Amino acid sequence: MNVSQPLIRLENVAKVFYTDEVETHALAGIHLDIKKGEYVSISGPSGCGKSTLLSILGLLDSPSDGVYMLGEKPVQGLDFSDRARIRNQEIGFIFQSFNLIGDLTVYENVELPLTYRNMSATERKERVQNALEKVGMAHRMRHYPSQLSGGQQQRVAVARALAGKPLILLADEPTGNLDSRNGEAVMELLQQLHREGATICMVTHDERFARHADRTVHMFDGKVVEESVEVG
């Protein structure tokens, strides 16, 4: 990829939901660039379109209009199977609700997305162990989610995202279900991953956590109203 090209580029992206003959304009005229290695937070009040925007970035939803370039390739019009492949191989998700599978061990939860790739068992094992070590959870790999605290579960969710070696990590309110101490610990983990070169885009309504990013995109009523850059 051309290093001068952004990893992600949105041009005039809009999203309209139609229900019972009512049009809801969730996003309008969104322009956004995210460079490789950048840490961007998206903030704004509830209902402003943050999570809709993240769903489009993660190919969980499609824009009604506009262009979405991921690594110089347009992805807004891809079919279901191509979108699923890109989600599995190029995008790492960290959700507010962890989304771990209760009857799988920590190890199996992290390994699961890798089983959908043409990858040897040896490589899967190496990736899972490296990812769990990176988030400080290798000693819990045989435990089940119910045996972990919320903060530990979120660390496992981060490991699951990392194991796929994605182009970008998308975090949707990653501290939303955690107390302040565990929330700070997860934020420190994301900062450490960013220092090691990860590209991160995080949705948060918490201004304290938004300030951890290099740049904050402020949204209101489905539009980007301001961008601010952290200094120092």
pLDDT tens for the chain, 232 residues: list them. Answer: 455 689 999 999 999 998 888 999 999 999 999 999 999 999 998 889 999 999 999 999 999 999 999 988 999 889 999 999 999 999 999 999 999 999 999 999 999 999 999 899 999 999 999 999 999 999 999 999 999 999 999 999 999 999 999 999 999 999 999 998 999 999 999 999 999 999 999 999 888 888 889 999 999 999 999 998 876 5
> What is the pLDDT, as a whole number, of residue 4?
64
Give the separation between CA 131 and CA 33, rounded to whole angstroms.
28
- Assign a CATH topology to domain 36-66+78-229: Rossmann fold (3.40.50)
Give the separation between CA 201 and CA 213, rounded to whole angstroms.
9
> What is the pLDDT, as a whole number, of residue 158?
95
> What is the pLDDT, as a whole number, of residue 5?
80
Contact 53, 226 (CB under 8 A): no
In this prediction the pTM is 0.91
**DSSP of 130-146:** HHHHHTT-GGGTTS-GG
Contact 27, 52 (CB under 8 A): yes
End-to-end alpha carbon distance in the chain: 29
User: Where exactly are the structural domains of the chain?
Assistant: 36-66+78-229
Sheet of strand 168-172: strand arrangement: 91-94, 168-172, 200-203, 39-43, 215-220, 223-229
> What is the pLDDT, as a whole number, of residue 94?
93
Non-local (6+) Cβ contacts of 20 within 8 A are none
